[in-house]
Amino acid sequence: MTKSELIDILARKQNHLAYKDVELSVKTLLEQMSQALATGDRIEIRGFGSFSLHFRPPRVGRNPKTGETVSLPGKYVPHFKPGKELRERVNEPATTTGKVAAR
Amino acid sequence: MALTKADMAERLFEEVGLNKREAKELVELFFEEVRSALEAGEQVKLSGFGNFTLRDKNQRPGRNPKTGEEIPISARRVVTFRPGQKLKARVEAYAGSGPQQ
């Protein structure tokens, strides 16, 4: 599913809303989420998951072309941890036993 | 402060002009549709933000950390998130005051 397919589905299900409002809403949501992470904030959506930043410490890398060493500064990368409901719903069709497994 | 669904609904109310109920419903449905697609085994690609993909993991040996007892971790399907170029670049530029967690 792509962003435009998601917009289509939402517009169909909320057909009292104008298509362009649904489109703008989805773009606004994703922009707000990106903005939060870009300013170091977490995102917490119960039943879906949480987004946070993980720190990657500085390291010495190498230019693969020249073999020259370069020192790379520390940086942050976005990280997503799926919530309980998402984990269970995604895993359910995949497992046949339905047994509760050790984490 | 962490961003929540309430903050997102508030933004749709302010910026898109949805009423409060519509805004709340749309935020709820947005996450529900992403969950449904993943539940149906479909990956979700939100350009500019990132991709939610599915990975099937084989059974592997595990251990109860409290008792030390060996218990196999069953085969399972998990969701992974791969941030897009744009989001990665924006986050990388964040010069926080040291590791967040």
Give a three-class secondary structure readout of A7-66: HHHHHHHCCCCCHHHHHHHHHHHHHHHHHHHHCCCCEEECCCEEEEEEEECCEEEECCCC
- Which pLDDT score, from 0 to 100, does residue A92 have? 85
The CATH number linked to A21 is 4.10.520.10
Q: How far B6 CA lies from chain A's nearest CA (Å)? A: 10
Query: Do the beta carbons of residue B26 and residue A17 sit within 8 Å?
Result: yes
Asked if B44 lies within 8 A of A1 by C-beta distance, the reply is yes
A102 pLDDT band (50/70/90 cuts)? very low
Asked if B91 lies within 8 A of A9 by C-beta distance, the reply is no
ipTM over 0.95: no
Residue A103 lies in a domain: no
Query: Do the beta carbons of residue B88 and residue A43 sit within 8 Å?
Result: no
What is the reported pTM? 0.87
- Domain interval for residue A4: 1-41
- Strand stretches in B1-101, DSSP E: 44-46, 50-57, 60-63, 70-73, 76-83
What does pLDDT average to over chain B? 93
Measured CA distances, A58 to A80, A90, B71 (Å): 22, 35, 37
- Which pLDDT score, from 0 to 100, does residue A103 have? 41
Give the mean model confidence (pLDDT) for residues B3-25.
98
- Which pLDDT score, from 0 to 100, does residue A100 have? 43
- Which pLDDT score, from 0 to 100, does residue B96 have? 65
Secondary structure element (H or E) that encloses residue A4, with its range: helix A3-13
Counting one residue from chain A and one from chain B, the pairs whose CB atoms sit within 8 A come to 190
The yes or no reply on domain B43-93 and CATH 4.10.520.10 is: yes
- CA atoms lying within 13 Å on the CB side of residue A27: 9
- Which pLDDT score, from 0 to 100, does residue B35 have? 97
B55 pLDDT band (50/70/90 cuts)? very high
Burial A34-67 (b: 16+ CB within 10 A, else e): bebbbeebbbbbebbbbbbbeeeeeeeeeeeeee
Residue A77 lies in a domain: yes
How many residues does the structure list for chain B? 101
Asked if A45 lies within 8 A of B31 by C-beta distance, the reply is yes
Residue A50 lies in a domain: yes
Count of domains observed in chain A: 2
Contacting residues of B for A76, CB less than 8 Å apart:
91-92, 94, 96, 100
Q: How far is the first Cα of chain A from the last one, in angstroms, to the nearest whole number?
A: 29
pLDDT in tens, A14-62: 999 999 999 999 999 999 999 999 999 999 999 999 999 999 999 999 9
How many angstroms separate the CA atoms of A2 and B47, rounded? Answer: 8
What does pLDDT average to over chain A? 90
Give the mean model confidence (pLDDT) for residues B4-32.
98
Give the mean model confidence (pLDDT) for residues A64-83.
93
Q: Do A30 and A53 fall into the same domain?
A: no
Task: State CA B46 to chain mean position distance.
Answer: 12
Top-level CATH class of B1-42?
A: few secondary structures
- Which pLDDT score, from 0 to 100, does residue B97 have? 54
Report which residue type is found at A81: K
Give the mean model confidence (pLDDT) for residues A51-76.
91
Give the mean model confidence (pLDDT) for residues A55-77.
91
Domain boundaries of chain B, sorted by first residue:
1-42, 43-93
How many angstroms separate the CA atoms of A54 and B83, rounded? Answer: 12
Give the mean model confidence (pLDDT) for residues B28-49.
97
Q: How far A72 CA lies from chain B's nearest CA (Å)? A: 12
